[in-house]
Structure 1
Amino acid sequence: MKALLLRVGIDKGCGGALSPIFEDGSFEYIPIPESDSETHETRTYQNTLGIKNKPLADFLPFKICQSKIHFDPEFETFTYGDPSKSKRKSLLKLDKNDLLVFYVGLSPYQNNKYPNALYIIGYFVIKKVIDFSELSKEEISKFCNLYSNNSHIKCDNLKGLVIVEGDKYRSTLLDKAILISKPKQNKIGRPYHAVSPEMEKLLGIKGSIQRSIPPRMIRDSECMENLKKLLKM
């Protein structure tokens, strides 16, 4: 068993904001804005309510409030897709019952006790990994129907696409976020988010996790047990 950690969700570089974390440790998972104008998606930040029963737009810059949302990963039918060379290679290494763990940048809402940092917000227990480049036309049609809730399918963006399907009974969006980073500075004083010392010890990974490239793979059995305890699996 192994686990792949990926950063997802809106951030300062894509969307111009971070999702909020609240006083009780709960959070809004806010995906990135959809960049494909041909998408069949109808949900926008303005017409989509979050866990606080408020439009997601309430937590975002005005300029993107009417933007359509690129829900990926999505936690309704539990799919995640990516066509990029940098990620598809890692996704294709996942096997049934492995973990795909998602982390995001969160910012404290109304100056609460939580730091502006990176947090684990959910995971998939892998059911299937589908490489669309290996499918026949008939199989593509079948999986497009099966994964119609995925943003890449809604955009008809299938070239190089890999879709990971999570087991719906064992995959989840967490109720409370799990802090995994600590701010540091590089040699020229530029800040970045690195794995916290506690998580280095528990998960066996270190260094910058500011971006999801390269994706971090956890293979060590002891580290995997620590991760499962962290996720309360």
Structure 2
Amino acid sequence: MGGKAYAIYVGTSMSRNSVPRMRGYIFPSGEYVFIPQVSSNQFAPGPTYRDLGLDDYVHPSYYGLKVHYDPEFETFTYGEYVGKADPCIKNLLRLEPGDYLFFVTSLQFSPGPCRRKWWVKLEWAYYIIGYFEIEEIFNHKELSIAAVRHKLRNNAHIIAGNTRSDLVIWKGSKRSAKFEYAVPISDKNVPTSYSL
């Protein structure tokens, strides 16, 4: 049984590399809307922003675009290309079964009719939206096995056919979860040690 925990940023952001360039939304209740990035393969099967019910949150020009919905919380999979120089991604290689992977995103406050919970930050902040208790880890070679691909069929990389040689996919156990309410870990004045 492992015991390590790591966090990784997911979804859209205000960085110039993000498409669309925006944050998700958090409401006074603490409920939130996670906005995934656009898929790099628009010809592959997969959900669009409209399919995910995000019409009210993204610009109309994005409605019909396919999304890179990773992580996915139906069968609990998350994929990443580990050949990148990013130290956050390199840390993921230390994960073992029994360890935890937390998913962080930036959320913009969106006013609503109910009273704001004390822990919901005004303006924007970084929030944890879910986690996996790691059950299995698959490297590129294992992804060629039909049974493995079937087990990971909901993963955005598998759906889009983006299975480069540096792809690793982590599968969470049934104890993994997407939170109904986002958990704040910073605010806009005290962000993390790196820019998201």
Q: What TM-score do the two structures reach when normalised by structure 1?
A: 0.71
Contact 2:42 2:65 in 1 (8 A): no
Distance 1:194 1:40 in 2: 36
Seen in structure 2, the aligned counterparts of structure 1 residues 153 and 136 have a Cα distance that, compared at 3 Å, is: closer
RMSD after superposition? 1.9
* Aligned counterpart, 1:63: 61
Distance 1:136 1:47 in 2: 27
> Superposition pairs for residues 155-194 of structure 1, below 5 Å?
155-159=160-164, 160-168=166-174, 170-184=175-189, 194=191
Seen in structure 2, the aligned counterparts of structure 1 residues 61 and 136 have a Cα distance that, compared at 3 Å, is: closer
Which contiguous aligned blocks of 4+ residues in structure 1 show a shift greater than 2 angstroms?
86-92, 110-115, 134-137
Structure 2 gap segments, 5+ residues each: none
> Superposition pairs for residues 1-12 of structure 1, below 5 Å?
1-12=3-14
Structure 1 gap segments, 5+ residues each: 49-54, 185-192, 196-206, 212-233
* Aligned counterpart, 2:105: 104
Deviations 1:22-77 (A, max 9, x none): 11011112211112123221x211132xxxxxx21211122222211111000000
User: Which of the two has higher C-alpha Rg?
Assistant: 1
Contact 2:44 2:160 in 1 (8 A): yes
Contact 1:83 1:162 in 2 (8 A): yes
Distance 1:106 1:88 in 2: 22
Choose which of 59, 74, 77 in structure 1 pairs with 2:75.
77
Higher RCO (CA-CA < 8 Å; seq separation 6+): 2
Q: CA deviation at 1:136?
A: 7.9
**Structure 2 residue identity aligned to 1:92:** L
Correspondence 1:46 to 2:50: yes
Q: What TM-score do the two structures reach when normalised by structure 2?
A: 0.83
Identity of matched residues, %: 32
> Superposition pairs for residues 175-214 of structure 1, below 5 Å?
175-184=180-189, 194-195=191-192, 207-208=193-194, 210-211=195-196
Q: Aligned residues, how many?
A: 180
